Chains A and B, each alone.
Chain A
Amino acid sequence: MTGAGPARARVDSAVARIREAVARPLRIMEVCGTHTMAIGRHGLRSLFPSDLRLLSGPGCPVCVTPGSDIDQAIDLARRPATVLATFGDMLRVPGARRETLDAARATGARVRVVYSALDAVELACAEPGSEIVFAGVGFETTSPTIAAAMKSARDRGAANFSVLPSFKLVPPAMTALCAAPDVRIEGFLCPGHVSAIIGTRAYAPVAAAAKVPCVVAGFDPLDILEGVAGIVEQVRDGRHEVVNGYARAVREDGNPAALALLDEIFEVDDAAWRGIGVIPRTGLRVRDAWAALDARRRFGLPPPAPDDLPEGCSCGLVMRGVLVPPECPLFGRACTPAAPVGPCMVSSEGACAAYHKYG
């Protein structure tokens, strides 16, 4: 990695702390796909002792979206006078039928890429004769922005706007992962921008139930190295505390306005995670008072089903931290970014794509 001056000295010091604290094989999970990308891009793995293993986890919202949700989005985009609005990340991920939104668009389905859920509300106001359905994918960073857009749509009387919900909650999924018998995670590097919303206190139940340190980190290489150093030192000392290593953006109670809005529109529900299965209480359901904005109820669609991954794909094991991508037999051979097999290779923040790009 690059950098000089005072930052360089802090990097060296963090690396030295890590090397000193890791005295046996350790497995820690970085959870967030943006962390996975940053770790790869800056070559941070090469700075760690060989006994320290970083696992990628389920932190790419696109990768964990069930194929049935993508199929439903495609079907909606094919309905007459209906437009499916989505973030660009969703376009290339195959659904359960192995079809993508991108391919559907090429054959006439109405798919519109937007930067923001607010843009989709604008679209609804501009095209009152169309149904605008927004593909509601994301963790706690993104779901409040979509909740805000739903509220704007209601305030502005945009009765033709709805959301196809596929939201996931990070901390309860972390606890569930740790409870699986084949998973061994000894510390979590917690996602910075999810934490800007939910606050550090949301990890207290994870640290207590799984008895593992949880350190919130930003996305700069230094943030990540110092976060990892804090985790391995806690493990060495037998501690399992929640630590905020990203105080620039994260407060203990997160963003109370965003949390209140989430609670106004959604309630906690079970969620289907692609390749992992249904994890109780790790998703969000639209409250009955907002049912008119829930595309699944509006169009009479069935709930998401946890579908199987393509034959031979190990994304489920990668996202649960059992394997690292190069341990998948297809990695780099039958499965590459140019010809991806599973969602972790398609999505730019998928663990397999990150490993393939940066090694």
Chain B
Amino acid sequence: MCLAIPGRLVRIEGDVGFAEFGGAERRVGLMLVPGARAGDWVLVHAGYAIQTLDEAEALESLRLFEELLADEPGATGAP
């Protein structure tokens, strides 16, 4: 239930943003990462960014998560 997935913030509107996950864009709450800016990588859990990541960290996490999520549909961690 505690899965979280890295995505890149493409734009911000107030305390929500839109993050890209492998080509798909989803709305994410930004209230927990007040310093986040468009272009930043964030770790997203249950519809909210819970931490900011640097790009190298994000790409590394992404590679690992793709492997982990390969056969885990519908978990709560879905962005």
**B15 adjacent to A141 (CB under 8 Å):** no
Stretch at the interface among A115-123, A208-216, A277-285: A115-123
Q: Among B31, B32, B71, B76, point to the contact of A89 (Cβ < 8 A).
A: B76
**B57 adjacent to A261 (CB under 8 Å):** no
Q: Among B2, B31, B34, B64, point to the contact of A194 (Cβ < 8 A).
A: B2
Q: Is B18 an interface residue (CB 8 A)?
A: no
Q: Is B9 an interface residue (CB 8 A)?
A: no
Binary per-residue interface labels of chain B (28-54) against chain A in the complex, 1 for a CB within 8 Å, 0 otherwise: 010111100000000101111011010
Q: Is B12 an interface residue (CB 8 A)?
A: no
> Given the complex, which residues of A lie within 8 Å of B2, measured CB to CB?
32-34, 59, 61, 138-139, 141-142, 191-194
> Given the complex, which residues of B lie within 8 Å of A349, measured CB to CB?
1, 75
A11 to chain B minimum Cβ distance, whole angstroms, is 13
Q: Is B13 an interface residue (CB 8 A)?
A: no
B4 (CB) vs chain A CBs: closest residue: A193
**A87 adjacent to B1 (CB under 8 Å):** yes
**B68 adjacent to A219 (CB under 8 Å):** yes
B50 (CB) vs chain A CBs: closest residue: A196
Number of A interface residues at 8 Å Cβ cutoff, please give it.
49
Chain B's interface size range is: 35 or more
**B32 adjacent to A223 (CB under 8 Å):** no
Q: CA–CA, A297 to B48, complex, Å?
A: 27
**B29 adjacent to A145 (CB under 8 Å):** yes
**A193 adjacent to B45 (CB under 8 Å):** yes
B7 to chain A minimum Cβ distance, whole angstroms, is 13
Q: Is A304 an interface residue (CB 8 A)?
A: no
Q: Among B29, B64, B68, B74, point to the contact of A116 (Cβ < 8 A).
A: B29
Q: Among A144, A194, A348, point to the contact of B75 (Cβ < 8 A).
A: A348
Stretch at the interface among A76-84, A147-155, A308-316: A147-155
Q: CA–CA, A196 to B33, complex, Å?
A: 12
Q: Is A330 an interface residue (CB 8 A)?
A: no
**B76 adjacent to A257 (CB under 8 Å):** no
Take A196-B43, A261-B31 as given contacts and tell me if A218 and B64 are in contact as well, using a CB distance cutoff of 8 Å.
yes
A124 to chain B minimum Cβ distance, whole angstroms, is 15
> Given the complex, which residues of A lie within 8 Å of B77, measured CB to CB?
34
Most buried by A among B2, B51, B75, B77: B2
> Given the complex, which residues of B lie within 8 Å of A116, measured CB to CB?
29, 46-48
Q: Among A33, A59, A255, point to the contact of B50 (Cβ < 8 A).
A: A255
Chain B 60-79 residues near chain A, CB threshold 8 A: 60-61, 64-65, 67-68, 71-72, 74-79
Q: CA–CA, A249 to B16, complex, Å?
A: 21
**A145 adjacent to B57 (CB under 8 Å):** no
Take A34-B1, A191-B2, A193-B4 as given contacts and tell me if A145 and B50 are in contact as well, using a CB distance cutoff of 8 Å.
yes
Q: Is A125 an interface residue (CB 8 A)?
A: no
Q: Is B3 an interface residue (CB 8 A)?
A: yes
Q: CA–CA, A197 to B65, complex, Å?
A: 19
B3 (CB) vs chain A CBs: closest residue: A34
Q: Among A33, A149, A197, A220, point to the contact of B29 (Cβ < 8 A).
A: A149
> Top 5 A-B pairs ranked by shortest CB distance?
A116-B47, A220-B64, A148-B31, A248-B57, A145-B48
Apart from the given pairs A87-B1, A148-B31, A149-B29, 16 other A-B contacts in the complex at a CB distance below 8 Å = A61-B2, A116-B46, A139-B2, A142-B2, A193-B3, A193-B4, A193-B50, A197-B51, A218-B64, A219-B65, A219-B68, A223-B64, A249-B61, A261-B31, A348-B72, A349-B75
